Amino acid sequence: MTRNSLWTALAAMSLQLAQGWAGHTCRSPSQDKGASLFVTESAAKPQEVVTMAPPTVVTCAEQHSRLQWGGNYTYVVLRPDGLPSFRGNLGGAQASYEYRPLDSFYGGLTVNWKQGRTHGDDGKRHLLYVDLQERLGYTAACRNNDLRFTFFTGLGYRHLGQKFIPTQGSILYFRYNELYIPVGTLIDYSFNRWFALGLDFVWMPQVYPTVLIVPLKGARWVLTEKLANFYAALPFDFTLTRSQKWHLVIKPFYERWKDGHSTAVTSTGIPLGLPGNAYNFWGVDVNFAYCF
């Protein structure tokens, strides 16, 4: 290597060292202080956390309408006045619609159908049961809307058809058609979002009961009115979905109903003698309900 080449290499190395040292030490103390303050302030400043509010869930009690439908099983004891009783099983279906806003007007419509066969010492009876109710009333709420009371009245219609097959004699058909005034209360309490327990009670005094006996040339007889008819139930309401719209309702019930005896008499004043009937119904309804 010549002397000129050696000096040229040393000069290049010196230039590189000078540039590196200048880049490392050229920042002023004020610049370093500003950088450290920026880092400190950034670390000390709390970060804002954006949270989303959970969606508001409207409970079934706070929704105005409820549509309900399902099936039923009933054990019945039928006691004609002064005659042996009949016992048997009925099955059927029911449906209802209720408009039930809190602290406001209440309206409802119920339909109930049962059918089956009973047996007794005197023969057997096939029963057909159809009941319709229209209800108007008022709903009051308390305890943060967890406890609700509904008071109502309205108009009811019941058809009870009987096909009586005696052990001896001819078959008889009885068709009872009865108007009545339902007067009742519905009470339910929500223990939490998923379960509520209720109490239903309806008094059903008759206002115009009649019976049609088919073999007697279609004669329609007016019956004595009976007031001691009532229905009681204990609904267990289970919520099935987080939206609170779908429910399963299991409702054990008891009902007592009585047909009056005939008021018709012959031209000589002798009563025709159609006896009254007392019905005792024990059963359970299983329903699905949709609230909206």
Neighbour-count burial for 114-128, b at 16+ CB within 10 Å, e otherwise = bebebebebbebebb
**Residue length of the chain:** 292
Condensed to tens digits (0 to 9), the pLDDT of residues 90-105 reads 999 999 999 999 999 9
What confidence score (pLDDT) does residue 163 get? Answer: 96
Contacts of 48 (CB under 8 A, 6+ apart): none
Return the CATH number at 150: 2.40.128.100
More confident residue, 4 or 276: 276
Q: Is the pLDDT reported for residue 43 higher than 60?
A: no
Domain housing 271: 60-291
* pTM exceeding the 0.85 threshold for the entire prediction: no
Q: What is the 3-state secondary structure (H, E, C) of 193-227?
A: CCEEEEEEEEECCEEEEEEEEHHHCCEEEEECCCC
> 274: pLDDT confidence band, cut at 50, 70 and 90?
confident
What confidence score (pLDDT) does residue 49 get? Answer: 56
Residue 30 in domain: no
Q: Is 207 exposed, middle or buried (0-12, 13-18, 19+ CB in 10 A)?
A: exposed
Rounded to whole angstroms, the Cα distance separating 194 from 191 reads: 8
Whether the CB-CB separation of 200 and 184 falls below 8 Å is answered with yes
Query: What's the structural domain count of the chain?
Result: 1
- Please give the angle made by the CA atoms of 123, 125 and 131, to the nearest 5 degrees: 165
Q: Which long-range contacts (CB under 8 A, 24 or more apart) does 28-37 make?
A: none
Token look-up 């068709």 returns 175
Residue 42 in domain: no
Rounded to whole angstroms, the Cα distance separating 113 from 90 reads: 10
Q: Is the pLDDT reported for residue 11 higher than 60?
A: no
What confidence score (pLDDT) does residue 21 get? Answer: 47
More confident residue, 29 or 106: 106
> 169: pLDDT confidence band, cut at 50, 70 and 90?
confident
What confidence score (pLDDT) does residue 37 get? Answer: 44
Average pLDDT value for the chain: 85
Whether the CB-CB separation of 212 and 163 falls below 8 Å is answered with no
What confidence score (pLDDT) does residue 25 get? Answer: 45
What confidence score (pLDDT) does residue 268 get? Answer: 61
Q: Is the pLDDT reported for residue 39 higher than 80?
A: no
Q: Is the pLDDT reported for residue 50 higher than 70?
A: no
Report which of 87, 148, 158, 143 is spatially closest to residue 120, judged by C-alpha positions: 87
Q: End-to-end alpha-carbon separation of the chain, Å?
A: 99
Residue 28 in domain: no
> 88: pLDDT confidence band, cut at 50, 70 and 90?
very high
Maximal C-alpha separation, the chain: 161
Condensed to tens digits (0 to 9), the pLDDT of residues 210-264 reads 999 887 666 678 899 899 999 999 999 999 999 999 999 999 999 999 999 887 7
Rounded to whole angstroms, the Cα distance separating 23 from 28 reads: 11
Conformational region of residue 82, where left means phi above 0, alpha means psi within -120 to 50, and beta covers everything else: left
Conformational region of residue 23, where left means phi above 0, alpha means psi within -120 to 50, and beta covers everything else: alpha
Rounded to whole angstroms, the Cα distance separating 167 from 123 reads: 5
Q: Is the pLDDT reported for residue 171 higher than 60?
A: yes
81 three-class SS: coil
Contacts of 3 (CB under 8 A, 6+ apart): none
Condensed to tens digits (0 to 9), the pLDDT of residues 173-195 reads 999 999 999 999 999 999 999 99
Residue 34 in domain: no
Contacts of 176 (CB under 8 A, 6+ apart): 158, 159, 160, 161, 162, 209, 210, 211, 223, 259
Least confident residue range of 124-128, 169-173, 270-274 = 270-274
Neighbour-count burial for 16-42, b at 16+ CB within 10 Å, e otherwise = eeeeeeeeeeeeeeeeeeeeeeeeeee
Q: Is the pLDDT reported for residue 142 higher than 50?
A: yes
Q: Is the pLDDT reported for residue 15 higher than 70?
A: no
- What distances in angstroms separate CA 155 from CA 1, 7, 105, 182, 230, one per listed residue? 124, 121, 17, 6, 14
